[in-house]
A = this chain, B = another copy of it.
């Protein structure tokens, strides 16, 4: 396999995988592209590499920057903006898990708390509902905390985790 073919395959695969995880294809592709680019890329570069429109590139780059995993860079003497991806994988994983926690887990916990706290319901059905949603709340809360703790290491959290788990 030749370099450009491999690069293309990587970008495509990452894009497809993104879809399965609720991230839009283009966003995942842009991220993949930036991950393997030695140099920062301009919006033009990205548009050309992925055959996408200016608007699409702009919106998805904004999205990636909101996740904190892509940065703007300015090159000396250049008017254009350039973009780079967070290439440190530990840092990347930490950022993603922090954002997902903030955007999805925390709001879900709030709802779980709410619905598991209904009162004055004494049917067997209601009892089971309360029990189950309470368990779910506690489970998700615990998992969220573990994630928090794990990623607190920042550097080499995965390696440290491997060591803890394996022994």
Q: Interface of A with B (CB < 8 Å)?
A: 1-3, 6-7, 9-10, 13, 17, 19-22, 35-38, 87, 89, 93, 104, 108, 111-112, 114-115, 117-118, 121, 123-129, 132-133, 135-136, 139, 142-143, 145-146, 149-150, 158-159, 161-162, 164-166
A37 to B128, CA, bound (A): 7
Contact A158 to B132, CB < 8 A, known contacts A22-B21, A38-B124, A108-B17: no
Copies of this protein chain in the complex:
2
- B135 touching A89, Cβ below 8 Å: yes
Chain B residues within 8 Å of A123, by CB: 3
Give A49 Cβ to nearest chain B Cβ, in Å: 13
Give A23 Cβ to nearest chain B Cβ, in Å: 8
Chain B residues within 8 Å of A37, by CB: 125, 128
Give A114 Cβ to nearest chain B Cβ, in Å: 7
- A10 touching B115, Cβ below 8 Å: yes
- A111 touching B36, Cβ below 8 Å: no
Chain B residues within 8 Å of A22, by CB: 19-22
10 of the cross-chain contacts (CB-CB < 8 Å) are A2-B118, A3-B125, A6-B115, A13-B111, A36-B128, A36-B132, A38-B127, A38-B129, A139-B158, A146-B162
Chain B residues within 8 Å of A135, by CB: 89
- A38 touching B139, Cβ below 8 Å: no
- Least CB separation from A20: chain B residue: B22
